[in-house]
């Protein structure tokens, strides 16, 4: 197993973990941040898979903008899931 | 000579133009939308005449398929596109009744909904189909919540959840197909579908079937329908039943016939169609709210269309297409009328609408629409239903047809209840006269329903080409 | 004559008339009368001008104008003409809509009669069906749905029959059904579906529950519905049994005393209908309901004739259908005239109107004679033919039921006659006037054939004979004044001579004794003014009889249907729970659906 | 109970998809891919579609970045659709967040570090975004990422200056004009060559900034459009502030 495979497996595991955190967290703000982390790692994965275009887009939109939008949405409603 | 791409490019042009015009005149935008849909309907009509000669292929960007994208317009696609745009034109007149701000955005979303549905019908490229599906569904999400009340938000939320799961499945299916065949052109896929790994093929088929089933309101993927239709503004409910639903079911037909010609699978499609009819009609019977009733009835009608596609004989598929046309016209009409009735009765409950349709300008079109939906001659709905039934018999689906007829009786029961209430005497003082924005589209739609019901030859001439369609052609 | 002319006169012309009369507002009935008159004139002119045609409106409509069609169209046209003529003066609300719908129904009925392929049959059948629905909706909204549901049920039963034929033959033509493609064992199914489908329009038991309510609508319409449109059921059954299937095919399923086993059960059903309809009619106090049940009962006779299937029986059925068209619409119009003038429906509230409305009384009297099958009217001949048909084959169930029903018919006829027209005039009806001219004219038009065909039954038997011969059923023995059968027959000339002699005798009797006119209050109550209700004979009419039948009347088919529909509606509310409204459930449905589709996909495609 | 069912469902769906996705050839030679077939001319090509893109892409479109060549030229129509989707999203959010009676929210000022930092960075981020979309046909990137980067610059401003407010009218005019540009470029292609979105400008030399015909033009339009749309979405989500 080469380094590439090991790194990508680790990243994929982190992705899954963050995704589960994002789904399960009662604190929506933390969930949003977990989602942002997931997007960031996914963008790294894209980069590793030689898709720099997608990586840039994912980083800008997934990690920054959509997280910001979600956080704004949380701000105008409630932070805790009932 | 009309290029099909104009049907997509021109609405897009007008949609992008409308914010600029909206700065000066909000009213201007509304009339611009009416103009755009009218223009589109005209172009679609001319395109239909062309496609009757031979299928029109419009190559985008000058790249031969499957390198680039190609629009593939057969007679059937052309007539569905024509009907979609025609109904869109009628509804855009009724749009003048929508007063809630921001009206410019509303108009744009509406125009793009029309454009997306047209695109879904015209395109010959699988990924392009997905793109238009997205355009259609995102426009629908926005419009479903446009009323900005609780009902609207909840309906739109359900639509978003179910719709996006559906789109995801479509995308996965496309990915699976591309991974194996390295092509996205439908005809190319169709030509080489046999070389796919059977497991992947079935997965891809199931994903696409499910994904387009959501738009086509197939059971049990249609759970968004009642809430989204109920919460949306009245013209949008009309548009939902006529535009995205028809585009979705056409895409479903493309998946079933053009790409995967799985004849073994067809009887299951019939069963799904029957279930859709059954649940749609039965639940519609229990509804007290007019728009919800019509929404469930729409499910039932879509189920009938799916059944027709599943039966798969020429006659039945002809019937399914006829039914698509009739339902697009009839349900749009009924929803517009429902909008008026709700406005007049100041309530969505059917029982509050006593005698509200006694003005002939509303009453007669309403009656025509309801009878057409029930499948009564000489209105458009008759031939569709009859052909589907006969097609079913010719394949020997006796039990299924019998159950279907039982469900149809339920349909007649609730429509009769509705008609009885809205035509009841004794509330004459409250009956109000509709204004032109309401009755003009109603009359346009009613006249078309009657004309193609009394003289179905033009439509049937187009639908003769259904044999080619089933065989996997345009 | 070419296809378009035929189609144009009998289908398109009424449709155009429907459109025109909608905008005619107050004059709509007159416009409609003119339109039906035109098609009636053409019908008269084109007798013998028979042929088959095809109209291509995208689907091919095969139309045939032959003697069967002509015979039924004759009833239809006369009945609608007089009904519309009646409606000219009956001040209906929204007369435009009324005339439009009547003409739509007429167009549909003509189409059904002309159709010789199942597509056009179904098309026109549904057209007729919903226009009646809307006509019923105009007044008895509550029950219009019931009519529509049964109408649709009838259409769907037809669809089942048509579909099975289509599965085997791949064609909609009547003529192709007998090409041998359909296995012999399938025919009973087809015929059952078709006969029940058509039978619902004739309101045969147990599908009769729509009729009493539908027949309570506006009288001119009901006259057309009962007199004209219900004959389409008879026509349809005749066509499906003797034209589409054919008598030899029917006989091949075994016979019972020379009657096909395919037809005999329907004859029994007809007998049951005649019996039940008559019994229920006896107990009605509402004149419309009484006539409605009577209509059900009379059509039961037609059903019997069609079921028995001997030339005499079918001939009798046809003749009876013809008579019923006239006498029942005449009765409905007569009732309509009475209701128009008095505004009352209950027989027990009327009485003595014969003095105030003598012409109406006379017309209704003839209709009642025909209804009860009293000699001198053509109703007697048709009933007699049916009796003979049943008796000659020794049907121990059918014939007695018919006879009982016939006695019952006397009872309820007498109720109308006495309750409405004879007896003592109510105070509030003192100023009632004779019905307006158009109404009388309409009723007169309907009365004339009843009398004429009782004198010269040969004319109509000639047409019927042609129908029978054309469909290969057999032929009737008839002359201009009589017909004869294996066990008898009837000679109307003898009857008429006897009648005239009797009439002279009765007149002599009448003149011999001086009658004294007694005032209403001059009676045994010794000057005490009694409540006028209790004095009228129609008050609690047939109460003893009713008490006798009470235990049986408790079991109503009506209520059974209600229970049935309640049960189903309850189930619907259970099914509704699938749509929970919770998006999480909905997402789960999607997942389950995906896996289910996948499993089916594996199973079917791998 | 419901939760367990949901988990089981998710796992099952994951498994069936995983079983399908393992069949995707990963890292195989392109020559093993199936050859494509032109349904209009009825000819089967001698190579697969990806192979064609890589071999002839530069000649067909003039773009050195093959992703761009596919996104903007070969499948430019899809991109038009995607742009529309984004447009719809922004319009939809705009119409849903539209409030007639504007209730103004109280907000706090952010601290000096953020304010200064964002002032400094704003220009650079915009420049970077512009760079990404202008060089879309040469280097990885293009209109979508570029636009997103521009929008993130504005996001920074929103975070730093609570009172900052981009004018909706201006944003929508810029997105309209960008969108119109895209459609009009397509229509010009239709008029000149008979193909919608035809690359009608000269290709120029590969690797030069002014090359690849209309691709840079379209990418600029997309960049502006995406940038303004995302900004508009952020703006709508921020609500009206005091």
Cβ-Cβ contacts under 8 Å, A39 against chain D: none
Highest-confidence segment of B25-29, D81-85, D156-160: D81-85
> What's the pLDDT tens digit per position in C188-239?
889 999 999 999 988 888 888 888 888 888 888 899 998 888 899 999 999 9
The helix, strand and coil proportions of chain A, stated in percent and rounded to the nearest 5, come to: 85, 0, 15
Contact check, Cβ <8 Å, A76/D144: no
C-alpha count within 13 angstroms, C-beta hemisphere, residue B158? 29
D15 vs C: CB within 8 A? no
- Residue C50 banded pLDDT, cuts 50, 70, 90: confident
Residue C47 Cα, gap to closest chain B Cα (Å): 28
Q: Which residue of B has its CA nearest to D37?
A: B188
Contact check, Cβ <8 Å, D77/B197: no
The confidence score (pLDDT) of residue B170 equals: 93
The confidence score (pLDDT) of residue B368 equals: 92
In the predicted model, is pLDDT for residue D241 greater than 60? no
The confidence score (pLDDT) of residue D105 equals: 63
| Backbone torsions φ then ψ of D105, nearest 5 degrees | -95, 150
More confident of the two residues C141 and D70: D70
Is residue B102 included in any domain, yes or no? Answer: no
User: What is the rounded average pLDDT of the residues D164-189?
Assistant: 86
Give the per-residue SS3 of C179-247.
CCCCCHHHHHHHHHHHHHHHHHHCCCCCCCCCHHHHCCCCHHHHHHHHHHHHHHHHHHHHHHHHHHHCH
Packing angle of the helix pair B224-231, B150-181 (nearest 10 deg): 130
> What's the pLDDT tens digit per position in B85-126?
999 999 999 988 888 878 888 888 999 999 999 999 999 889
Is residue B287 included in any domain, yes or no? Answer: yes
Residue B455 Cα, gap to closest chain D Cα (Å): 35
Report the domain count for chain B: 1
B residues 182..201 contacting D (CB < 8 A)? 182-183, 185, 187-188, 191-192, 195, 197, 199-200
Q: How far apart are CA C179 and CA D206, in angstroms?
A: 76
> What's the pLDDT tens digit per position in C10-24?
989 999 999 898 888
Contact check, Cβ <8 Å, B102/D187: no
* Cβ count within 10 A of residue C351: 24
**Which tokens belong to C5?**
């002319």
Choose among C253, C261, C348, C267: nearest CA to C305.
Answer: C267
> What's the pLDDT tens digit per position in D59-82?
888 888 888 888 888 888 898 898
Our CA dihedral for B217, B222, B228, B229, rounded to 10 degrees, sits at 50
Our CA dihedral for C249, C254, C256, C262, rounded to 10 degrees, sits at -50
Q: Is B258 in contact with B190 (CB distance < 8 Å)?
A: yes
Residue B171 Cα, gap to closest chain D Cα (Å): 12
A49 vs D: CB within 8 A? no
The confidence score (pLDDT) of residue C207 equals: 86
Q: Which of A67-81, C233-247, C456-470 has the lowest mean pLDDT?
A: A67-81
Interface C-D, measured as beta-carbon pairs within 8 A, has a size of 18
Beta-carbon contacts of D96 under 8 Å, excluding residues fewer than 6 positions away, are B142, B145, B146, B148, D236
In the predicted model, is pLDDT for residue D99 greater than 80? no
Residue C63, SS3?
Answer: strand
Residue B62 Cα, gap to closest chain D Cα (Å): 5
**Which tokens belong to C369?**
């004679």
In the predicted model, is pLDDT for residue C552 greater than 80? no
Tokens 């809630």 appear where?
B100
Choose among C110, C89, C104, C88: nearest CA to C40.
Answer: C110
Predicted-complex ipTM score: 0.91
Contact check, Cβ <8 Å, D9/C588: yes
Computed on alpha carbons and rounded to an integer, the radius of gyration of chain B in Å comes to: 21
Beta-carbon contacts of B373 under 8 Å, excluding residues fewer than 6 positions away, are B297, B301, B326, B327, B330, B331, B334, B381, B411, B415
> What's the pLDDT tens digit per position in B360-405?
888 899 999 999 999 888 898 899 999 999 999 988 889 999 999 9
A48 vs D: CB within 8 A? no
Q: Which residue of C has its CA nearest to B378?
A: C127
Q: Which residue of D has its CA nearest to C598?
A: D16
| Backbone torsions φ then ψ of B440, nearest 5 degrees | -60, -50
For the stretch C505-510, contacts whose Cβ atoms lie closer than 8 Å and that sit 24 or more positions apart, written own/partner, are: none
Please calculate the CA angle C485-C48-C198 and round it to the nearest 5 degrees: 65
Report which DSSP code applies to A79.
S
Cβ-Cβ contacts under 8 Å, D151 against chain A: 60, 65
Q: Which of B165, B283, B382 sits opposite C579 (nearest CB)?
A: B283
A60 vs D: CB within 8 A? yes
In the predicted model, is pLDDT for residue D112 greater than 60? yes
Cβ-Cβ contacts under 8 Å, C594 against chain B: 169, 206-207, 210
User: What is the rounded average pLDDT of the residues C467-473?
Assistant: 87
Residue A57 Cα, gap to closest chain D Cα (Å): 4
Residue D44 Cα, gap to closest chain C Cα (Å): 27
> What's the pLDDT tens digit per position in B330-356?
999 999 999 999 988 888 898 888 888
Q: Which residue of D has its CA nearest to A47?
A: D140
Contact check, Cβ <8 Å, C584/D2: yes
User: What is the rounded average pLDDT of the residues B452-456?
Assistant: 89
Contact check, Cβ <8 Å, C163/B377: no
* Cβ count within 10 A of residue D100: 8
Q: Is B294 in contact with B336 (CB distance < 8 Å)?
A: no
C567 vs B: CB within 8 A? no
**Which tokens belong to D3?**
């939760």
For the stretch B434-439, contacts whose Cβ atoms lie closer than 8 Å and that sit 24 or more positions apart, written own/partner, are: B434/B340, B434/B359, B434/B361, B434/B362, B435/B97, B437/B93, B437/B94, B437/B96, B437/B97, B438/B94, B438/B97, B438/B336, B438/B339, B438/B340, B438/B362, B439/B361, B439/B362, B439/B365
Whether cis (ω within 30° of 0) applies to the bond prior to B102 is yes
Chains near C, with 3+ CB pairs < 8 A? B, D
Q: How far apart are CA D234 and CA D215, in angstroms?
A: 28
| Residue B349 β-bridge partners | B289
* Site from B163, B176, B281, B376 to mutate, C interface, most C CB atoms within 10 angstroms: B376
Contact check, Cβ <8 Å, D152/A72: no
Residue D99 Cα, gap to closest chain B Cα (Å): 9
D184 vs C: CB within 8 A? no
In the predicted model, is pLDDT for residue C396 greater than 90? no
Cβ-Cβ contacts under 8 Å, D16 against chain C: 595, 598
Q: Which alpha helices (H) appear in B195-354, and where do they start and end?
A: 198-215, 224-231, 234-242, 244-253, 266-285, 290-311, 314-345
User: What is the rounded average pLDDT of the residues B450-472?
Assistant: 88
Chains near B, with 3+ CB pairs < 8 A? C, D
Residue B56 Cα, gap to closest chain C Cα (Å): 25
In the predicted model, is pLDDT for residue D242 greater than 50? no
D1 vs C: CB within 8 A? no
Q: What is the domain extent for residue B355?
A: 264-474
Run of H or E including B73: strand B70-73
- Residue C394 banded pLDDT, cuts 50, 70, 90: confident
The confidence score (pLDDT) of residue C528 equals: 63
Beta-carbon contacts of B59 under 8 Å, excluding residues fewer than 6 positions away, are B65, B68, B70, D40, D195
D153 vs A: CB within 8 A? no
Q: How far apart are CA D237 and CA C152, in angstroms?
A: 54
Choose among B363, B347, B327: nearest CA to B248.
Answer: B327
The confidence score (pLDDT) of residue A41 equals: 92
Q: Is B159 in contact with B140 (CB distance < 8 Å)?
A: yes
Contact check, Cβ <8 Å, C142/B420: yes
Please calculate the CA angle C517-C522-C526 and round it to the nearest 5 degrees: 155
The confidence score (pLDDT) of residue B87 equals: 93
Residue B298, SS3?
Answer: helix
Q: How far apart are CA B78 and CA B72, in angstroms?
A: 9
Highest-confidence segment of B62-76, B270-284, C54-68, D134-148: B270-284
C597 vs B: CB within 8 A? yes
Q: Is D14 exposed, middle or buried (0-12, 13-18, 19+ CB in 10 A)?
A: exposed
Listed by start position, the domains of chain A span 3-76
D180 vs C: CB within 8 A? no
> What's the pLDDT tens digit per position in A17-63?
999 888 888 888 888 889 889 999 999 999 888 888 888 888 888 88
Is residue B352 included in any domain, yes or no? Answer: yes
- Residue B298 banded pLDDT, cuts 50, 70, 90: very high
The confidence score (pLDDT) of residue D106 equals: 66
Choose among B244, C88, C261, B63: nearest CA to D53.
Answer: B63
Listed by start position, the domains of chain D span 65-238
Q: How far apart are CA C199 and CA C514, in angstroms?
A: 53
Q: How far apart are CA B227 and CA B164, in angstroms?
A: 16
Cβ-Cβ contacts under 8 Å, D145 against chain A: 53, 56-57, 60
- Residue B40 banded pLDDT, cuts 50, 70, 90: very high
> What's the pLDDT tens digit per position in C350-373?
877 888 888 899 898 888 888 887
Q: Which of B213, B226, B390 sits opposite C163 (nearest CB)?
A: B390
The confidence score (pLDDT) of residue B128 equals: 92
CA distances in angstroms from B355 to B344, B359, B366, B442, listed in the order given: 10, 9, 13, 18
> What's the pLDDT tens digit per position in C504-542?
988 888 787 666 766 665 656 555 665 655 566 666 777
Q: Which of D25, D177, D195 sits opposite B62 (nearest CB)?
A: D195
Q: Is B465 in contact with B317 (CB distance < 8 Å)?
A: no
In the predicted model, is pLDDT for residue B147 greater than 80? yes
């Amino acid at each position: 197993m080469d380094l590439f495979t090991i790194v990508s497996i680790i990243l994929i595991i982190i992705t899954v973990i963050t995704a589960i955190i994002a789904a399960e967290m009662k604190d929506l703000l933390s969930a949003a941040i977990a989602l942002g982390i997931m997007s960031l790692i996914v963008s790294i994965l894209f980069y590793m898979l030689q898709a720099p275009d997608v990586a840039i887009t994912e980083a800008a939109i997934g990690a920054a903008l959509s997280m910001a939008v979600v956080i704004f949405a949380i701000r105008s409603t409630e932070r805790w899931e009932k | 000579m009309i290029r099909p791409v104009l049907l997509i490019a021109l609405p897009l042009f007008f949609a992008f133009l409308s914010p600029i015009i909206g700065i000066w005149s909000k009213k201007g935008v509304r009339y611009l939308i009416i103009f755009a849909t009218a223009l589109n309907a005209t172009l679609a009509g001319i395109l239909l005449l062309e496609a009757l000669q031979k299928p029109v292929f419009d190559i985008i960007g000058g790249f031969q398929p499957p390198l680039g994208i190609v629009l593939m317009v057969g007679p059937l696609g052309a007539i569905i596109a024509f009907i979609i745009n025609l109904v869109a034109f009628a509804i855009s007149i009724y749009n003048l009744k929508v007063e809630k701000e921001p009206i410019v955005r509303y108009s744009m979303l509406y125009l793009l909904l029309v454009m997306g549905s047209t695109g879904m019908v015209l395109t010959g490229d699988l990924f392009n189909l997905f793109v238009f599906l997205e355009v259609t569904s995102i426009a629908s999400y926005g419009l479903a919540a446009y009323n900005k009340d609780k009902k609207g938000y909840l309906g739109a939320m359900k639509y978003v959840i179910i719709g996006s799961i559906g789109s995801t499945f479509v995308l996965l299916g496309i990915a699976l197909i591309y991974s194996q065949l390295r092509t996205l052109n439908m005809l190319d896929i169709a030509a080489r579908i046999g070389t796919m790994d059977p497991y992947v093929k079935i997965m891809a088929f199931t994903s696409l079937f499910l994904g387009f089933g959501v738009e086509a309101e197939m059971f049990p993927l249609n759970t968004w329908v009642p809430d989204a239709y109920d919460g949306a503004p009245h013209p949008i409910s009309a548009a939902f039943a006529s535009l995205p639903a028809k585009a979705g079911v056409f895409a479903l037909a493309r998946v079933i016939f053009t790409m995967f010609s799985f004849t073994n699978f067809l009887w299951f499609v019939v069963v799904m169609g029957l279930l859709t009819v059954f649940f749609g009609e039965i639940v519609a019977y229990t509804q007290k709210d007019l728009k919800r009733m019509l929404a469930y009835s729409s499910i039932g009608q879509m189920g009938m269309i799916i059944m027709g596609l599943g039966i798969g004989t020429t006659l039945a598929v002809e019937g399914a297409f006829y039914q698509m046309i009739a339902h697009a016209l009839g349900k749009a009409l009924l929803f517009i009328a429902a909008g008026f009735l709700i406005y007049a009765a100041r309530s969505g409950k059917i029982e509050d609408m006593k005698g509200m349709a006694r003005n002939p300008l509303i009453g007669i079109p309403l009656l025509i629409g309801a009878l057409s939906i029930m499948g009564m001659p000489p209105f458009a709905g008759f031939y569709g239903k009859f052909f589907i039934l006969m097609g079913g018999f010719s394949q020997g689906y006796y039990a299924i047809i019998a159950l279907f007829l039982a469900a149809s009786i339920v349909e007649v029961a609730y429509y009769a209840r509705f008609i009885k209430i809205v035509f009841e005497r004794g509330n004459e003082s409250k009956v109000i006269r509709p204004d032109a924005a309401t009755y003009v589209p109603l009359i346009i739609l009613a006249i078309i329903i009657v004309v193609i019901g009394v003289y179905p030859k033009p439509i049937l001439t187009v639908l003769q080409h259904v044999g080619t369609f089933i065989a996997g052609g345009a | 004559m070419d296809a378009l002319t035929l189609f144009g006169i009998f289908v398109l012309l009424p449709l155009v008339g429907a459109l025109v009369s909608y905008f005619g507002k107050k004059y709509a009935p007159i416009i409609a009368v003119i339109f039906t008159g035109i098609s009636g004139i053409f019908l008269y002119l084109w007798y013998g001008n028979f042929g088959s045609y095809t109209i291509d409106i995208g689907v091919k409509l095969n139309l045939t104008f032959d003697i069967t069609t002509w015979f039924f169209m004759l009833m239809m046209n006369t009945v609608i003409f007089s009904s519309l003529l009646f409606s000219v003066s009956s001040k209906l609300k929204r007369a435009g809509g009324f005339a439009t719908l009547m003409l739509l129904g007429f167009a549909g009925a003509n189409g059904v009669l002309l159709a010789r392929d199942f597509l056009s049959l179904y098309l026109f059948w549904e057209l007729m069906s919903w226009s009646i629905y809307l006509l019923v909706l105009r007044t008895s909204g509550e029950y219009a749905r019931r009519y529509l549901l049964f109408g649709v049920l009838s259409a769907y039963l037809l669809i089942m029959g048509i579909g099975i034929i289509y599965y085997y033959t791949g064609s909609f033509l009547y003529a192709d059904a007998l090409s041998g493609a359909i296995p012999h064992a399938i025919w009973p199914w087809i015929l059952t579906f078709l006969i029940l489908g058509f039978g619902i329009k004739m309101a045969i038991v147990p599908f009769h529950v729509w009729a009493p309510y539908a027949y309570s609508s506006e009288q001119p319409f009901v006259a057309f519905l009962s007199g004209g449109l219900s004959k389409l059921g008879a026509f349809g059954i005749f066509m499906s049994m003797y034209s589409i299937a054919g008598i030899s095919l029917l006989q091949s399923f075994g016979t019972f005393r020379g009657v096909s086993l395919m037809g005999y059960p329907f004859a029994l059903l007809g007998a049951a209908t005649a019996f039940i309809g008559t019994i229920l009619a006896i107990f009605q106090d509402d004149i419309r309901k009484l006539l409605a049940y009577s209509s059900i009962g009379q059509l039961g006779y037609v059903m019997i004739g069609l079921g028995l299937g001997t030339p005499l029986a079918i001939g009798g059925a046809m003749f009876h259908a013809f008579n019923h068209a006239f006498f029942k619409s005449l009765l409905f119009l007569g009732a309509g005239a009475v209701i128009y003038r008095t505004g009352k429906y209950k027989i027990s509230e009327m009485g003595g109107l014969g003095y105030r409305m003598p012409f109406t009384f006379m017309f209704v009297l003839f209709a009642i004679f025909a209804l009860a099958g009293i000699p001198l009217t053509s109703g007697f001949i048709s009933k007699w033919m049916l009796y003979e048909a049943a008796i000659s084959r020794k049907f121990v169930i059918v014939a007695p039921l018919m006879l009982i029903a016939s006695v019952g018919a006397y009872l309820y006829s007498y109720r109308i006659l006495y309750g409405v027209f004879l007896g003592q005039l109510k105070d509030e009806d003192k100023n009632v006037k004779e019905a307006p001219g158009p109404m009388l004219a309409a009723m007169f038009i309907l009365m004339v054939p009843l009398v004429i065909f009782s004198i010269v039954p040969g004319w109509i038997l000639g047409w019927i004979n042609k129908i029978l011969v054309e469909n290969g059923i057999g032929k009737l023995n008839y002359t201009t004044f009589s017909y004869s059968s294996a066990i008898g027959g009837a000679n109307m000339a003898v009857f008429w001579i006897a009648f005239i002699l009797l009439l002279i005798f009765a007149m002599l009797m009448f003149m011999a004794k001086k009658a004294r006119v007694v005032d209403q209050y001059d009676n045994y109550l010794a000057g005490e003014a009694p409540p006028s209700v209790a004095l009228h004979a129609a008050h609690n009419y047939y109460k003893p009889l009713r008490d006798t039948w009470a235990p049986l009347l408790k079991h109503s088919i009506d209520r059974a249907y209600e229970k049935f529909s309640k049960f189903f509606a309850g189930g619907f509310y259970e099914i509704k729970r699938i749509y929970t409204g919770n998006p999480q459930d909905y997402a789960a449905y999607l997942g389950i659906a995906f896996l289910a589709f996948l499993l089916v996909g594996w199973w079917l495609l791998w | 109970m419901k939760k367990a069912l949901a988990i089981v469902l998710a796992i099952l769906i994951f498994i069936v998809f995983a079983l399908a996705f393992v069949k995707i050839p990963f890292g195989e030679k392109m020559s093993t891919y199936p050859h494509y077939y032109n349904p209009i001319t009825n000819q089967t090509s001698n190579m697969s579609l990806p192979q064609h893109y890589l071999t002839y892409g530069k000649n067909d479109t003039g773009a050195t970045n093959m992703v761009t060549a596919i996104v903007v030229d070969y499948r430019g129509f899809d991109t038009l659709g995607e742009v529309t989707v984004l447009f719809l999203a922004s319009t939809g959010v705009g119409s849903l967040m539209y409030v007639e009676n504007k209730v103004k929210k109280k907000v706090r000022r952010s601290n000096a570090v953020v304010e200064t930092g964002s002032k400094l960075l704003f220009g650079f981020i915009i420049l970077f975004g512009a760079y990404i979309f202008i060089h879309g046909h040469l280097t990885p990137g293009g209109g979508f990422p570029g636009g997103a980067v521009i929008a993130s610059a504005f996001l920074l401003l929103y975070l730093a200056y609570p009172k900052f407010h981009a004018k909706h009218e201006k944003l929508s005019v810029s997105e309209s004009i960008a969108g119109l540009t895209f459609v009009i470029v397509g229509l010009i292609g239709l008029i000149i060559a008979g193909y919608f979105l035809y690359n009608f400008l000269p290709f120029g030399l590969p690797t030069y900034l002014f090359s690849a015909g209309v691709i840079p033009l379209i990418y600029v339009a997309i960049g502006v459009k995406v940038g303004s749309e995302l900004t508009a979405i952020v703006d709508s989500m921020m609500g009206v502030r005091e």
